Amino acid sequence: MTNLFLDLPPRDLLRVIHNHLNQRFFADSKAASKRLFKSLAHGTEAPFIAISTEESGDIRSVLRLDMTAVSGKFNFRLFREALAAHLYRIDQALADQNDATADSANVYVDQDDSSRLVFNLPGVTDSNGHINALVSGVEVTEPGSFVVKLVFLPVEQDAPRSD
């Protein structure tokens, strides 16, 4: 799986995705980031990563946001909180220098379709009792093209909470 569509191991791909998410939603202007969020929230894909390699040629990706499992009212501020928590978890996984395997970055490959993988490092937020968990994943759509997905996972809202 490590060379699924790029000559990048999953940890390096995760680092590239992390850097691009950080740039687009935290380093870029708040106005630009908010426009991107609104566009993604309405189901529009956005150009995201472009990589040129000698062996694979040009590789392009788009960014997609799946908010179908979001609980409660949701806005740009809450999205950025969830994304910040997710990026923090990615930072922690990438900082683990003792284990450079895909498993240390919680990378899961779809057993039925190796062109899909998930970085299971959820950014979890709680807003007025509404818990949301954000993860990212990648799906190869065709040679030289892939989708980076930000997906909110369904979270059981009736789970007991410890305060």
- Tell me the per-residue pLDDT of 29-74, one tens digit each, with 9 for 90 and over: 999 999 999 999 999 999 999 988 777 678 899 999 999 999 998 9
- Tell me the per-residue pLDDT of 107-127, one tens digit each, with 9 for 90 and over: 777 777 778 888 999 999 999
Q: Name the pTM for this structure.
A: 0.85
Per-residue confidence (pLDDT) for residue 64, from 0 to 100: 98
> Hey, CA dihedral for 15, 59, 57, 102, is it positive or negative?
positive
Distances in Å between the alpha carbon of 131 and those of 123, 124, 158? 10, 7, 10
- Tell me the per-residue pLDDT of 83-106, one tens digit each, with 9 for 90 and over: 999 999 999 888 875 555 555 567
CA-based nearest residue to 59, from 147, 149, 144: 144
